[in-house]
């Protein structure tokens, strides 16, 4: 598993600032995180994904970076980070960090230099226009919070491009000097021991922006180049990318047209996540089955990252208007619970009414890999935040988490068949036949329904294969109905 460890990894996303404080200053730090590594290891976590850790003004939760080669002073020092990597490795936990190179903060020294003069050596590190671009009000990522993608800078006397907020000018990655700097950043952190990167806004990084063109050409060879550079620096390092694009475009992010997996190692499966939320809202497993059947085949050894919730909103943009309305009605009925008109901003626990049984049921889900025989199971992205006063993520006991992760790893031997619903009586259950052999011939099942009358039910009588409970001193003998034993109840859901 050393080279392709990510295929069955359990990733845990956390924000260091709000995880564990070690010096009582009210801010989480690396030393506090080190103290909790044993706890995370007991949960079954095999990889930590750290949200941005670099120096930042903090206007966009750390995604407005001012120095790619440092860590935020509130978190500690580079030495503390190196110790974190070392201690995590001792427990079998790898660490990946956010790679936010689509844009910088407007306070980054590069942009300060770029806007100071047209002759600045960093002028071409950003995207400029001498005249007002006609597509100035198009392409906003955060509708309602941003109203343009080009902003006029009085100091530079020119318009600069920003796909996100106006204080986050986009880097001109088409400039060879900028791309070389990106690879330098990657090399720096791999040298410090990180096992990979979560690439933020991957489609925008490889897009060549031209004023007046709302959609620039994408250069996928940039991903090939970055993958090669990373592999030379550390053979088992990965790139897990965020690319919420059309399904027909997904495969290009993994590899070239020849079928080689020479680009990204992993992508978040946003399409499956949206259908999963629809299945949970309707308590019908069919949307998940459809998503799995529609998933394009991936080149070996590429992999999807599946998740219930991560640090962003639940993006429902790939659903139809009616489907999105069903999900919002169930999990975000109030306007304050929604975001950008396309997603739910709530965490999973309150979405489920903080009902521990419902939360445990959702955590039991182990999604099949797809319809290709011999495909490996998808890793489960156990994304979430564990605070110092919350010993169990989303209220799920650590022992149960460990058993779930162990079961998922053991189930890797049972390769997947085509997923589908069990039958009309159990339309809230997604089942998948396992390939006969080491994994046996059983069906793997995941229940998405919860309300009475949906999905698997507890049997009304004790199954006949169980021996009657013998009478013991001080205890009464349980009655056994011989006629009832002849009836075969539904399988007990555990």
Query: Cα 279 from chain centroid?
Result: 19
- Asked whether 243 and 202 are in contact (CB, 8 A), the reply is yes
Q: What is the pLDDT of residues 15-24, one digit of tens each?
A: 999 999 999 9
Q: How confident is the model at residue 96 (pLDDT cuts 50, 70, 90)?
A: very high
Share of the chain above pLDDT 90, in %: 49
Lowest mean pLDDT among 74-78, 179-183, 196-200, 362-366: 362-366
Cα–Cα distance for residue pair 421/73, rounded to 1 Å: 52
Looking at residue 141, its pLDDT comes to: 85
Residue 352: which pLDDT band, with cuts at 50, 70 and 90?
confident
In this prediction, residues 402-421 reach a mean pLDDT of 51
Mean pLDDT within 394-423: 51
Q: Which residue has the higher pLDDT, 277 or 467?
A: 277
What local confidence, expressed as pLDDT, does residue 55 receive? 98
Other Cβ atoms within 10 Å of 23 Cβ, number: 10
Predicted confidence (pLDDT) at residue 494 exceeds the cutoff of 70: no
Structure-model confidence comparison of residues 94 and 392, the more confident one: 94
Query: 488 pLDDT exceeds 80?
Result: no
Q: Which of 106, 170, 242, 427 is catalytic?
A: 242
Question: Out of 64, 98, 106, 200, which one is annotated catalytic?
Answer: 200
For residue range 190-219, list pLDDT tens digits in order: 999 999 999 999 999 999 988 877 778 899
DSSP secondary structure letter of residue 99:
E
Question: How far is residue 375's CA from residue 467's CA, in Å, rounded to a whole number?
Answer: 39
* CA-wise closest residue to 100 among 146, 141, 51: 51
Q: Name the nearest CA neighbour of 347 among 327, 358, 332.
A: 332
CA-CA distance, 303 to 299, in Å (whole number)?
Answer: 9
Is residue 248 very low, low, confident or very high in pLDDT (cuts 50, 70, 90)? confident
Q: What is the pLDDT of residue 404?
A: 57
| pLDDT for position 405 | 61
Residue 272, SS3 per DSSP: helix
Statement: residue 270 has pLDDT above 60? yes
242 is catalytic: yes
Helices (H) and strands (E) in the chain, counts: 15, 19
Buried b (16+ CB within 10 A) or exposed e, 373-384: eebbbbbbbbbb
CA atoms within 13 A on the CB side of 123: 14
Mean pLDDT in residue range 265-283: 90
Mean of all residue pLDDT scores within the chain? 80
Give the whole-angstrom CA distance, residue 121 versus residue 151.
21
CA pseudo-torsion sign 358, 359, 360, 364: positive
The 10s digit of each residue's pLDDT in 310-332 is 777 788 888 899 999 999 889 98
| Ordered structural domains, the chain, with CATH | 5-101+180-415 (3.20.20.80), 109-161 (3.90.400.10)
Tokens of 400: 């149960």
pLDDT at res. 11: 92
Q: What is the spatial distance between Cα 314 and Cα 325, in angstroms, rounded to a whole number?
A: 13
Confirm if 381 and 310 have CB atoms less than 8 A apart: yes
| pLDDT at residue 448, as a whole number | 64
Q: Is pLDDT at 97 greater than 60 in this prediction?
A: yes
Q: Return the higher-pLDDT residue of 284 and 445.
A: 284
Spatial neighbors of 364 by CB under 8 A, at least 6 apart, are 404, 446, 447
Tokens of 309: 């919730």
**Region for residue 340 given its phi and psi (left: phi exceeds 0; alpha: psi -120 to 50; beta: otherwise):** left
Least confident of 49-63, 431-445, 474-488: 474-488
More confident residue, 124 or 371: 124
- Which has the higher per-residue pLDDT, 471 or 33? 33
- Kindly tell me if the per-residue pLDDT of 394 is higher than 80: no
The DSSP annotation for 169-223 comes to PBB-TTSHHHHHHHHHHHHHHHHTT--EEEETTHHHHTEE--TT-SSPEE-THHH
- List, for residues 369-390, the tens digit of each pLDDT value: 333 333 333 433 333 323 333 3
Residue 375: the pLDDT is 37
- The span from the CA of 325 to the CA of 375, in Å, is 33
H/E stretch holding 96 reads strand 94-99
């Amino acid at each position: 598993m050393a080279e392709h460890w990510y295929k069955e990894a359990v990733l845990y996303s956390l924000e260091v600032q709000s995880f564990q404080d070690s010096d009582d200053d009210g801010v989480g730090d690396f030393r506090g995180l080190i103290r909790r590594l044993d706890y995370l290891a007991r949960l079954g976590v095999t990889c930590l994904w750290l949200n941005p850790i670099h120096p930042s003004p903090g206007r966009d939760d750390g995604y407005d970076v001012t120095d790619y080669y440092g860590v935020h002073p509130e978190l500690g020092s580079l030495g503390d980070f190196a110790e974190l990597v070392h201690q995590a490795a001792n427990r079998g936990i790898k660490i990946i960090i956010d790679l936010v190179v689509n844009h910088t903060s407007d306070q980054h020294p590069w942009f300060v230099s770029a806007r100071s003069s047209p002759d600045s050596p960093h002028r071409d590190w950003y995207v400029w226009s001498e005249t007002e671009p006609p597509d100035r009000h198009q392409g906003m990522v955060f509708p309602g919070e941003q109203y343009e993608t080009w902003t006029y800078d009085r100091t530079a006397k020119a318009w600069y491009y920003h796909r996100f907020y106006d204080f986050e000018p986009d880097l001109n990655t088409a400039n060879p000097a900028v791309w070389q700097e990106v690879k330098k950043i990657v090399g720096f952190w791999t040298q410090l021991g990180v096992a990979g990167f979560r690439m933020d806004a991957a489609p925008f990084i490889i897009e060549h922006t031209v004023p007046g063109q709302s959609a620039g050409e994408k250069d996928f060879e940039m991903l090939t180049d970055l993958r090669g550079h990373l592999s030379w620096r550390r053979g088992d390092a990965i790139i897990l990318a965020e690319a919420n694009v059309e399904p027909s475009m997904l495969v290009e992010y993994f590899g070239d047209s020849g079928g080689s997996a020479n680009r990204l190692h992993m992508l978040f499966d946003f399409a499956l996540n949206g259908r999963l939320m629809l299945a949970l809202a309707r308590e019908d497993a069919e949307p998940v089955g459809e998503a799995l059947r529609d998933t394009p085949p991936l080149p070996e050894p590429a992999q999807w990252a599946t998740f219930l919730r991560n640090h962003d909103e639940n993006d429902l943009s790939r659903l139809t208007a009616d489907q999105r309305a069903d999900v919002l009605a169930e999990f975000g009925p109030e306007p304050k619970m929604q975001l950008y008109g396309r997603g739910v901003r709530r965490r999973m626990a309150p979405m489920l009414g903080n009902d521990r049984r419902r939360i445990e049921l959702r955590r039991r889900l182990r999604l099949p890999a797809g319809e290709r025989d011999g495909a490996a199971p998808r890793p489960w992205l156990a994304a979430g935040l564990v605070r110092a006063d919350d010993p169990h993520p989303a209220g799920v006991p650590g022992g149960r988490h460990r058993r779930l992760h162990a079961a998922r790893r053991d189930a890797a031997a049972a390769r997947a068949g085509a997923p589908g619903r069990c039958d009309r009586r159990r339309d809230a259950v997604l089942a998948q036949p396992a390939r006969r052999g080491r994994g046996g011939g059983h069906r793997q099942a995941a229940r998405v329904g919860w309300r009475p009358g949906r999905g698997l039910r507890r049997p009304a009588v004790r199954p006949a294969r169980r021996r009657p409970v013998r009478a013991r001193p001080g205890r009464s003998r349980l009655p056994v109905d011989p006629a009832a034993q002849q009836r075969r109840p539904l399988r007990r859901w555990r």
